[in-house]
Amino acid sequence: MNRARFKRMLSMIAAFAMAVTTTHAAPIKVLALGTSLTQGLGVPPGLDLTEVLEARLKASGFDVKVINAGVSGDTSAGGLARLDWSLADHPQAAIIELGSNDALRGQSPAETEKNLSAILARLKAEHVAVLLTGMKAPRNLGPEYAAQFDAIYPKLAKQFGVLFYPFILDGVAANPKLNQADGIHPNPAGVKLIADRMMPYVKQLMLQVKH
């Protein structure tokens, strides 16, 4: 091999190595699209769910940035309306936590399903890996409403083939020690438990991201 060809080969190898390094230098962006449960209403700075999950992921060796796109009081329709804006950061993964305020307002489960379906379809079209978190309707709305609402999430998760965490407030709902005075929003201890239980699913989400 002559010297000129050898130099060209070294240049190609260096360029390839630089490209690989550049590809992996940027952290994985995870869009957390949700309500006050995602936003962290009532908890001190640094202790909301997105920041706790980000810290846990980094401690597990993932280079990641979790983008807090939680809005207090938001509905599934609101989440859909701001999806384009939320995707402007070009996330590779998304955690979807919407629907609780729909149920609190007694909104039609069919409407909630329609909105969530549109969100998941858009994310799929954008090749964004998704973790869908489920919600349960307040039982005072009656068994028929609860059955229809609760069924939305496993149905859509199966339909779109996305990761599914059945109930984001699992282990926290109705526990006074894990909630703020309003009995609805988790306190820091409640957020920690949610993160504990979600982490296996969030790690699976990271493994689905294509570099």
Residues noted as catalytic: 36, 182, 185
> Among 167, 179, 178, 108, which Cα is nearest to 141's?
108
Tokens of 78: 């609101």
Question: Strand pairing partners for 68?
Answer: 32
> Among 99, 33, 44, which Cα is nearest to 71's?
33
Contact present, 141 and 103 (Cβ < 8 Å): yes
Tokens of 164: 């599914």
Half-sphere exposure in the Cβ direction for 165 (13 Å, CA): 26
Question: Can you list the positions of beta strands (E) in the chain?
Answer: 28-34, 64-70, 93-97, 129-133, 163-165
The residue type of 158 is: K
Contact present, 69 and 39 (Cβ < 8 Å): no
Contact present, 70 and 135 (Cβ < 8 Å): no
Ranges of H-type helices in 28-71: 36-39, 49-59
Contact present, 86 and 33 (Cβ < 8 Å): yes
